[in-house]
Structure 1
Amino acid sequence: MTHFQPPPLLRNAHVQSLLASTRLRRLRIGNRARKLEAASREVLVECRDGTRLIGEYAEQSGENRGLVILIHGWEGSSKSTYMLSSGSALFEAGYNVFRLNQRDHGPSHHLNKELFTSTRLTDALGAVEWIQTTFPHERNYLAGFSLGGNFSLRVAANCRDHAIRLDQVAAICPVLNPVNTMEALDSGWWLYEKYFVRKWKRSLRTKLKHFPELGYEKDLLTLKSLREMNQFFVPRFTSFKDANTYLLAYAIIGDALSHLEAPCHIIAAQDDPICGAEDLPNLAKAPNLTVESTAHGGHCGYVSNYRLDSWVDKRLLELFNNN
């Protein structure tokens, strides 16, 4: 097993978190990412409950090592830098790769009237089931980043009634306790909250172009923080009475992961400024769950050297190659 040991100048949590998504990082993966995208085709995912999602599927021209489904984080997409980085590394190593866009992410806002919420586990379950049924493989893997990691682990814990097979699940810096994550965004470095407010508002405006009857256009102008946005949208567009109840509904602490249906591996950084490691001890002690906690890495950073290589890409290959 490789260990994450970044050079001294790359050990700062904010440096790690920001570097992972910079233009420099995008340039570093340029050639590999272009090969992945050239081999990918857009696919309409049609879940059995009527939900429709969009993904990108890259298939090997010859034999393959199995199917890897990747799920991005909140307000990310199939084209996020970390998705392209890990996806291209896996494709280059011989895996078929499906990069899934969650509801209202990527170019999918027009497909479903109901807004994306983090509690819509049926979307992820239905999508993974449809993908594996449509593109059957002997070996099947699932990996997610941040909120996508949270979804991946919940899929593994709730897939018993679905035609889903998972040989290994990996979650990179997953949201563990959304209440604490929202508090970290609210009270931490202002740049992170500003980033998510801007991206969420942009997504919500895109949604209104397709479904103006949702009617929140004027209200959106007055909302300035994630806390205010949650307080407005949760009671009006979800089945939850308040934001705190909603956030707790997709937490994976306590018994949430006690009945995992597949081997699951969490990679979490002790210095993660968004999905803090303080809740790692509160995870279920499940036989199918292992936790790899690193001292550094920030939030989905894991930039291993000054060439901006990703340690996570190599770690995912190790995990999947050995299962």
Structure 2
Amino acid sequence: MTLPQGRDFQPPWPLRSGHIQTMLSSSGVRRLLLPKAARTVLEGAEPVMVSGGADVRLSGAYTAQRTGAPSRGLAVLFHGWEGSLDSTYVLQTGSRLLAEGWDVFRLNFRDHGDSHHLNEALFHSCRIDEVVHALAEIAERWPTRPMALAGFSLGGNFALRAGLMAPQHGIPLAYTLAICPIIDPAEGLFSLEKQAPWFYQAYFMQKWRHSLRTKQAAFPQHTYFELAELKQNLRGLTEALVLRHTDFDSLEAYLDGYSVAGDALRAMQIPATIMTSRDDPVIPVNAFEQLRLPPNIELDIARYGGHCGFIRGLDMTSFTDDYIAARFNAIADAR
């Protein structure tokens, strides 16, 4: 079977703009225009609570496929920063995999979606251990095999790190796929500050501040940030997060803590795919080009697509649906 490649994505003008692709990817317009089939993963979805270890609780949703045939496997989906298990791209991908015969689990990271009240401590990007712990519980509670994982943006970064850690934790993960993952967080932060148009940083900051206000309301007895800290830019507020709420002694150490740059992925034991686009205005492509990868990791850099966009036309469906489904199905067929 010939798998779709990033070079196959040739959108019509003006969807060849990385900025338009990026802005449409999570816009309300896209959610309104998506066909009904892109929401079927919501039908019969079971709300679930899983353990992140100790007293950590993470929320999720499980949907069993209804094709009448044996399940192809269990597909687990990770959203991006300040997204959720109900983000448009997660629903669309989950619905496509459901139609292909997969059972689907959508996980919320800590403090994402409506889960701010579940844990008193704040989310940060180095909380990979609790996500891996949750992944192990998901594999045990829903033992359909194979188990395949896909993540978007920061969720793609988590998916790659989870893929690295899965074998040593006994998690039967067969494959992991990352769409536009954060590779070098320090470079990505610099790009948002210095290279990307101002409205990207404004967009992320607005969502992050809203999330922090929601967290504060859930735990009014706890002061997470001072008002002056909340008014800082992305770098300033991130540094305040690091010094207040992590064990790292510097912003640089924290950013390095979830980096998968350089040869960090050379120890990956399972098959994996990294897909991004050259016109991604959020995550610089040179970080991908500098990766030193083992043979079992496929790196696919498309010309177009923006950041997690890859939108094909007016119906707002994404090329990534075909891309992810084809690779997941290949893993299942190989079993």
With the length of structure 2 as denominator, give the TM-score of the two structures. 0.92
Range with bigger deviation, 280-289 or 108-117: 280-289
Please list, as runs of the form range in 1=range in 2, the aligned pairs for 1:1-323 lying within 5 A after superposition.
1-2=3-4, 3-61=8-66, 62=68, 63-187=70-194, 188-219=196-227, 222-323=230-331
Contact 2:52 2:131 in 1 (8 A): no
Contact 1:71 1:100 in 2 (8 A): yes
Contact 2:72 2:101 in 1 (8 A): yes
The letter for the 1-side match of 2:30 is: R
Contact 1:205 1:217 in 2 (8 A): no
Counterpart-to-counterpart distance in 1, 2:300 and 2:253: 29
Counterpart-to-counterpart distance in 1, 2:170 and 2:83: 27
What SS does structure 1 have at the residue aligned with 2:274?
Answer: strand
What SS does structure 1 have at the residue aligned with 2:36?
Answer: helix
Change (3 A) 1:21 1:222: closer
Shift of 1:222: 4.8
Instruction: Map Cα deviations across residues 48-79 of structure 1 (whole Å, 9 max, x no partner).
Output: 33321000111124421110000000000001
Q: Provide the aligned C-alpha RMSD in A.
A: 1.5
Counterpart-to-counterpart distance in 2, 1:121 and 1:217: 23
The letter for the 2-side match of 1:143 is: A
The letter for the 2-side match of 1:75 is: E
Instruction: Map Cα deviations across residues 72-129 of structure 1 (whole Å, 9 max, x no partner).
Output: 0000000111111111111111111111000000111111111111011102101111
Shift of 1:30: 4.4
Contact 1:73 1:148 in 2 (8 A): yes
With the length of structure 1 as denominator, give the TM-score of the two structures. 0.96
Instruction: Map Cα deviations across residues 196-243 of structure 1 (whole Å, 9 max, x no partner).
Output: 111111111111122234313543665231111012121111111121
Change (3 A) 1:258 1:12: same
The letter for the 2-side match of 1:39 is: G
Contact 1:149 1:175 in 2 (8 A): yes
- Structure 1 gap segments, 5+ residues each: none
Counterpart-to-counterpart distance in 1, 2:130 and 2:72: 26
The letter for the 2-side match of 1:282 is: Q
Contact 1:269 1:299 in 2 (8 A): yes
Counterpart-to-counterpart distance in 2, 1:87 and 1:207: 28
Change (3 A) 1:241 1:158: same
What SS does structure 1 have at the residue aligned with 2:308?
Answer: coil
The letter for the 2-side match of 1:150 is: N
Contact 1:157 1:256 in 2 (8 A): no
Change (3 A) 1:103 1:285: same
Range with bigger deviation, 214-223 or 34-43: 214-223
The letter for the 2-side match of 1:162 is: H
- Structure 2 gap segments, 5+ residues each: none
The letter for the 1-side match of 2:287 is: D
Shift of 1:305: 2.4
Instruction: Map Cα deviations across residues 9-62 of structure 1 (whole Å, 9 max, x no partner).
Output: 110010000111222321233412442211211100123333210001111244
Range with bigger deviation, 230-239 or 218-227: 218-227
The letter for the 1-side match of 2:17 is: N
The letter for the 2-side match of 1:109 is: H
Range with bigger deviation, 170-179 or 297-306: 297-306
Counterpart-to-counterpart distance in 1, 2:10 and 2:157: 25
